[in-house]
Amino acid sequence: MITIEQTPILLNIAVLGEFTLADFKQFEEHALYMLKSPGTVNLLFDLRDMISYTVDVAWEEIKFFNREHLHDFSKIAVITEDEWITWQTWLSRMFVDADICVFTDYEEAEIWAAAA
């Protein structure tokens, strides 16, 4: 399950439990809507309460960020304490033209991601 909050430049996504394909499609719908507006779009992924994700989500993430929207996001903040997710986030920096940063503190991540 996910929750989504949206401001003019920030899409804030929190994952609770398992991150499913339906959840990813919901995120994608919001992101595509925001990308239609002029200006910067930043993402904040709060993954502290994510337990797991399905394989189809991983594939959709690769397609969405690496193929279709390589240059569309300015900043991507990821909040996690999980070493595996941190490693995956740093690895994706090679494939996405965005400033990506991992945080353990929500407030720090939000301040960084909300700055234009």
Q: Which domains does the chain show, CATH number per domain?
A: 2-114 (3.40.50.10600)
Rounded to an integer, what distance in angstroms lies between the CA atom of residue 24 and that of residue 112?
23
Q: Name the H helices within the chain.
A: 21-35, 55-61, 83-92, 106-114
Q: Is the pLDDT of residue 9 over 80?
A: yes
Report residue 82's pLDDT band, with 50, 70 and 90 as the boundaries. Answer: confident
Number of other residues whose CB lies within 10 A of the CB of residue 61: 17
Q: Is the pLDDT of residue 103 over 90?
A: yes
- Average model confidence (pLDDT) for the chain? 85
Q: Is the pLDDT of residue 83 over 80?
A: yes
Q: Is the pLDDT of residue 16 over 90?
A: yes
Rounded to an integer, what distance in angstroms lies between the CA atom of residue 26 and that of residue 64?
13
Three-class SS of residue 12?
strand
pLDDT of residue 61: 72
Q: Is the pLDDT of residue 42 over 70?
A: yes
Q: What percent of the chain has pLDDT over 90?
A: 48
* pTM of the entire predicted model: 0.85
Q: Is the pLDDT of residue 97 over 90?
A: no
Rounded to an integer, what distance in angstroms lies between the CA atom of residue 7 and that of residue 113?
11
Residue with the bigger pLDDT between 70 and 103: it is 103
16 contacts 45 by C-beta, under 8 angstroms = no
Residue with the bigger pLDDT between 72 and 30: it is 30
